[in-house]
Amino acid sequence: MHALAFNSGSSSLKFGLYRVHGTQVTRLVSGEVEGLGQPLGAFHAHDAQGNPLLNETSAPASADAAIERIAALLASAQTPSPQVIGHRIVHGGPAQRAHCRIDDAVLRDLEAAVAFAPLHTPAALAVVRGAQARFPNLPQVACFDTTFHRTMPDVARMLSLPREMRALGIERYGFHGLSCESIVRQLAAERADGVPPRLAIAHLGNGASITAVRDGVSVDTSMGLTPSGGVIMGTRSGDLDPGVLVYLARERQFDAAMLEDLVDHRSGLLGISGLSGDMRTLHAAAATNAGARLAIEMFCQSVRKQLGAMSVVLNGLDLIVFTGGIGENDGAVRAEIRRGLSSIGVDSADDGSPCRVQALPSLEDEQIALHAAALCPGLT
């Protein structure tokens, strides 16, 4: 089966066409639209061997236009036609917690869940509708970042609020689930001894989270009701004393929109440094900019704290996997984080270390293709 995967961000759209056979998945074409609908952007794509198919310095003006360009690219590359389309959905809310085929009822639930992930869900819904319009005869599948964390026990899922709040869907959901699924799948395939029983996954990118995995199953994670909590992120604050928000609302007349803008867009690495939410920019400035140095140090400290917490949850760690844009590619940040983890069995080198450390790519799009194919087994 050939599955087209869409992985949308607030202003970006990753895509890939994959051949899926059972549990085997092969990439045929992949690419990304950056700066979707913005004056400055890019559109690039590669074939199965990594050779460039296009590299444009502008982006389509809308999700519909981007999908039309992607369809044209696939046609010009003479790839097989997709038979199913899968979409990454960050938050399905309380009503949608399992990967599923999209119908009108699912779309209504996703619309109702926009408030849980206002940075992500509106963009994803625009892509779903654009794909439905461009490929009206193909089944569409929603793949949720929250699904992997459905296994968390109540001690991790419940928030310390009155019990009736849970009836409103207020609980810990967890995110980066597709990334975590892909790490577990890679470990199962690559290691002779399979997935270690006590695993921590550090997905570190513009969004960041730490997940405790016992025997391949999520048992705790750093993000909560929304993707804004947990460790420090690019522009998101991570965990805050709730009293900060109460103070700003009461004493500085912040309304909900102002608080959301503060927590999601003006905090994190950007807020600390006053310079940028991009770790690459902070590294470049760190030698002469104290704010940049502090932002990097605070980021690494927040990750160490969460890894220590997950070590307690799992009663020790056998393996830490770093993934995501920073986790996979930023060796300096990985080294700085691990320098503070000797108390949980991480030495400066893996030789003889009770807890080993490795970096793996986050293969979210492959995971989307696998789920999309599995949910449409009658297609050939």
Residues 307-336: tens digit of each pLDDT? 999 999 999 999 999 999 999 999 999 999
- Summarised one tens digit per residue, pLDDT across range 102-156 is 999 999 999 999 999 998 999 999 999 999 999 999 999 999 999 999 999 999 9
Q: Per-residue pLDDT for 380 more than 60? A: no
Q: Which residues pair with 214 in a beta bridge?
A: 198, 217
- Domains of the chain plus CATH, in order, are 2-172 (3.30.420.40), 192-359 (3.30.420.40)
CA separation for the pair 233, 202 (Å, rounded): 12
The CA dihedral of 147, 115, 252, 264, to the nearest 10 degrees, is 50
pLDDT tens-digit series, residues 335-374: 999 999 999 999 877 667 899 999 999 999 999 999 999 9
How far apart (Å, rounded) are the C-alpha atoms in residues 199 and 184? 9
Mean pLDDT of the chain: 95
Active site residues: 145
- Dihedral angle computed from the Cα positions of residues 294, 299, 303 and 305, in that order, rounded to the nearest 10 degrees: 40
- pLDDT score of 193 more than 90: no
The mean pLDDT of 245-255, rounded to a whole number, is: 98
- Neighbour-count burial of 197, counting CB atoms closer than 10 A to its CB (0-12 exposed, 13-18 middle, 19+ buried): middle
pLDDT of 224 over the 60 cut: yes
Is the pLDDT at 9 greater than 90? The verdict is no
| pLDDT for position 335 | 95
Paired sense of beta strands 140-144 and 84-89, if any = parallel
Instruction: Return d(Cα 27, Cα 204) in angstroms, integer.
Output: 24
| Between residues 194 and 132, the one the model is more confident about | 132
CA nearest to 148, candidates 206, 207, 229, 203? 203
Residue 192 confidence (pLDDT) = 84
**Measured in Å, how far apart are the chain's first and last C-alpha atoms?**
6
Q: Can you give the pLDDT at residue 351?
A: 67
Cα–Cα dist 330/82, whole Å: 35
Percent of the chain residues topping a pLDDT of 70: 99
